[in-house]
Amino acid sequence: MAVSCLDALGLRRLGAIAPLLLLAATLGACKHAEEDITASVPSDYRQRHPIVVQEADRTVEVFVGTGRGGLMASQRTDVAAFAQTWLQEGTGPITIDLPVSTTNARAATQSLHDIQEIFSSVGVPARGVTIRRYTPPDYGQFATIKLNYPKVIADAGPCGLWREDLGPSFKSPIYQSNRPYSNLGCAYQRNMAAMVANPADLVQPRPESPSYTPRRSTVLGRYANGEPTATKQPDADKGKISDVGK
């Protein structure tokens, strides 16, 4: 009889602490999942915000008024620079988006002829230009002529994604794990991608260009005769005021 009472008492105690054990197991599982997510964030900013080389459009908008057809002097300069840049970096044809059914549609059509003449003078072939007519969503509104062509660019980001609280709290996973926050290095990577002149330089080095043959012959000839190989600058001492230390 005593053994049965002890067994019943033990069962009641076990039933009382069972919810606590279940709660502890649940909290332990949540903590384990949080640690896995934290550990999956790379510590290297180049892995968190990689620079991606891809193809994207370069666009220039030409603003055309309703009462004047043709391009202004500054617009002619912009269009000529756009065409010259296409010759160097374009990976596809130029697309001209011409507005129709707008208040400035007639003036835009007149400006299109100037754009085509500038393209031809720069060296853009006629087969390299495609005209695409479009109507703005707001029927009859003022619209622009859009010049587009695809090119290879380097890009990184987006930046400004604050996934964690950076406040001074020991509960923050950043302070607990002693690791950089996720947005660190994003602005650097994005600026580097925007400043690089040739995106291919981020992937592979450029080949060495041939040396300047006339200058190389001059230097080697002076070296063989025992003469100084440096270039003489006749105006190097023109602005000196003293010979001290000479």
Residues 82 and 138 reside in one and the same domain: yes
| Residue 164 in this model has a pLDDT that exceeds 50 | yes
Number of domains in the chain: 2
The structure tokens listed for 105 are: 């549609």
Q: What is the pLDDT of residue 137?
A: 83
132 pLDDT tier (thresholds 50, 70, 90)? very high
Q: What is the pLDDT of residue 246?
A: 62
CATH value at residue 132: 3.30.1330.60
State the average pLDDT over residues 85-96. Answer: 95
Which residues, including other chains, have CB under 8 Å from residue 51's CB and lie 6 or more apart?
154, 155, 156, 189, 192, 193, 202
State the average pLDDT over residues 101-112. Answer: 92
Residue 62 belongs to some domain of the structure:
yes
Helices (H), 123-185: 173-177
Q: Are the beta carbons of 128 and 93 closer than 8 angstroms?
A: yes
Q: Are the beta carbons of 181 and 166 closer than 8 angstroms?
A: yes
State the average pLDDT over residues 123-143. Answer: 87
Cα separation, 209 vs 200, whole angstroms: 16
| Residue 169 in this model has a pLDDT that exceeds 80 | no
Residues 142 and 64 reside in one and the same domain: yes
Domain containing residue 169: 35-51+156-200
| Residue 158 in this model has a pLDDT that exceeds 80 | yes
Residues 47 and 160 reside in one and the same domain: yes
State the average pLDDT over residues 6-16. Answer: 51
Residues 61 and 99 reside in one and the same domain: yes
Residue 61 belongs to some domain of the structure:
yes
State the average pLDDT over residues 55-84. Answer: 93
- Amino acid identity at 177: S
The structure tokens listed for 39 are: 């550990």
Residue 79 belongs to some domain of the structure:
yes
Q: What is the pLDDT of residue 20?
A: 59
Residue 233 belongs to some domain of the structure:
no
Residues 73 and 187 reside in one and the same domain: no
Q: Are the beta carbons of 104 and 114 closer than 8 angstroms?
A: no
Residues 69 and 139 reside in one and the same domain: yes
Residue 145 has a CB neighbour count (10 Å cut-off) of 23
Residue finishing a domain among 151, 167, 188: 151
Q: What is the pLDDT of residue 117?
A: 96
| Residue 140 in this model has a pLDDT that exceeds 90 | no
Residue 201 has a CB neighbour count (10 Å cut-off) of 12
Residues 170 and 192 reside in one and the same domain: yes
Cα separation, 131 vs 116, whole angstroms: 10
Residue 127 belongs to some domain of the structure:
yes
Residues 113 and 187 reside in one and the same domain: no
Residues 39 and 160 reside in one and the same domain: yes
Q: What is the pLDDT of residues 33-69, one digit of tens each?
A: 444 444 556 788 888 899 999 999 999 999 998 888 8
What is the residue whose two structure tokens read 């129709």? 100
